[in-house]
A and B are shown apart, each in its own frame.
Chain A
Amino acid sequence: MKESFNKNILELEKVGMVFGGLLALNDQNFQVKMGTIKAIIGPNGAGKTTLFNVITGIFPPTRGTICFKGKSIQQLKAHEICNLGISRTFQTVELFDNMTVLENVMVGCHTRTRSSFLASGFAFPRTRRKETHIQSKAIGILEFIGLKDKMREPSGSLPLGDQKTLEIGRALATEPDLLCLDEPVAGLNETETKVASSLIRSIREQGITVLLVEHDMKVVMNISDEIMVLNYGEKIAEGPPEEIQNDPKVIEAYLGGNE
């Protein structure tokens, strides 16, 4: 455990992202240590979500390399990156609202237990067995995240807190090694926030590395092992929570300083 703690699961080297003429990320270097919770914070428009999108393959970076478990992934498509073991949630909830809670998680199982179009159409016994297996796995995940009672409900009818939790559950179903959470507690009330924080901690206890973007400083300071601060596409600070809290550059970025 100690050994793996010092190993990096994700390494970004000089990753830059330019949209048209707009520099969203300026040659970022950063690492995520295996088995930790790392938070990325920064004011709105700092490039946090862009960083997520680049890591998870929504779009390839303009330049630089991204290494996941020693393999460079910057040219891979989103679904390939998911197959390698990076999963994510979205800032604005992107559940499959044409499905039930259970089905949403079952979609997450796709990457580990897919079957071909033909095998599905002919309903081979093997395909059916897989289906039962997927279902029980999905129910297990719903139990873990505490949504088992609501598994037959349409996902769109859940309150926001449950929707965010369900997104995490769906991401867990892909059996990730690295889980990227984009503002997991944004819009949640205090109780929901507490539940979400403890869920994120218990995910790390399962050996899954967590990378999160979050504005709620209380949550970030509480659960993170390490924090990186972005501003205008630049990294301005990085370190453990206590250090970040007292960093003058961070305070300036958030509260505005004298120019």
Chain B
Amino acid sequence: MLHIRKRAIAIFFVIIIGFPWIAEHIPAITHYPDVMVFAGIYSLITIGLSLLLGYTGQISLCQAAFYGIGAYVSGILTARYGLNSWLCMAIGMIFSGLVALLVGPASLKLRGHYLAMATMAFGIIVSVILNQEVDLTGGPDGMTGIPMLSLFGFEFDTTEKYYYLVWAFVFAAFIFSVNVVQSGTGRALRAIHSSEAAASAMGINVLRFKVIVFIYGAMLASLAGSLFAHYLNFVNPSTFDVSFSIKLIIMITLGGMYELWGAIIGAGLITFLSYEWLHFFEEFEIVVYGAILLLVTIFLPKGLVGIPGIIKRWFRS
């Protein structure tokens, strides 16, 4: 059930590598690699969220906050203080991890709706800070002048180069998470999801594992934020508000939160829907998301990645 096949990962790898080349040759989708950069950035966050919500069973409505912290730490330290971009990325991740360590233990003692409320409150606090601390963050107008990324003189100055950079990170995060999920740690996380009482009776330090996964998700979101800031060279607080946290939940619900593939598929689909395919609906876009969430939870509780299983069962009976 949990075995993630090496062949599937290899095929996925080839598709990701070949995609820009294919897109280049089909006129209607030449700009798709740009959308895929965002899909990759969101995938980083949803992979962390999948581990937290899908595997460990703990909801978080503050992933956008860590995403914002990463973006702003990178933005402020590079644009204002001229620090090395990669160093700032690491600082952002460490800082987000520390914040998660501060917020996590208190909120993760709560369950269900209460956990959702607590994490949402934290998300709102971060959002308010980003809006109100005008001297530091530039306030609602956002901040500009965030430099491009470069590594040893190699500039990530085209969409294609950035695409490969982002997806390299996604791959690393994906493989790391697959390893976690398939190890004893992953079993401990699923045990917590199933029964906290039984998990702790088996010697699993429930709170500790929840906090570790929360920190991991926060650090991935922060990394995504830094990549976002360096790609657009501009950040503004509305990107990181609570509604984006909810959108992230929709992503993994659609893709399927009980398998890591679902995180990437969901992030990819929702990104394309909101950047490309749903322009027609304009401000009613949100209604479409609502409908998606409703339909998926009723008919596909395991998300899109659950479809092969449903088909298999059909054929058997």
Contact = CB atoms under 8 A, between A and B. Distances in A.
B269 interface: no
A96 B197 contact: no
Interface residues of A, number: 43
Interface stretch (A40-48, A81-89, A210-218): A81-89
Contact of B198 (A95, A115, A127, A131): A95
A81 B33 CA distance: 53
A96 B200 CA distance: 12
A98 interface: yes
A111 interface: yes
A123 B176 CA distance: 8
Given A94-B198, A121-B176, A111 B190 contact: no
Interface of chain B, main secondary structure: helix
Interface residues on B, range: 20 to 34
Nearest to B177: A121
Nearest to A156: B194
B185 A83 contact: no
Interface string A67-88: 0000000000111001100011
Contact of A110 (B176, B194, B203, B212): B203
B201 interface: yes
A108 to B, nearest CB: 5
Contacts of A122: 176, 179
A174 B195 CA distance: 17
B266 to A, nearest CB: 20
A224 to B, nearest CB: 23
B183 A110 contact: no
B180 A117 contact: yes
B216 interface: yes
Interface hub of B200, B203, B216 (most chain A Cβ within 10 A): B203
A32 interface: no
Given A106-B184, A121-B179, A94 B197 contact: yes
Nearest to A114: B184
A107 B197 contact: no
Contact of B201 (A82, A106, A123, A130): A82
B199 interface: yes
Contact of B194 (A78, A99, A171): A99
Interface in B203-248: 203-206, 212-213, 216
Interface string B259-300: 000000000000000000000000000000000000000000
Interface in A172-187: 173-174
B200 A77 contact: yes
22 contacts: A79-B200, A79-B201, A79-B202, A79-B205, A87-B201, A87-B202, A88-B201, A98-B193, A99-B187, A99-B191, A110-B188, A110-B202, A115-B183, A116-B185, A117-B185, A117-B212, A120-B185, A121-B176, A122-B179, A171-B202, A174-B202, A174-B203
What are the 5 A-B residue pairs with the smallest beta carbon separation, nearest first?
Answer: A111-B203, A120-B183, A82-B203, A78-B200, A94-B198
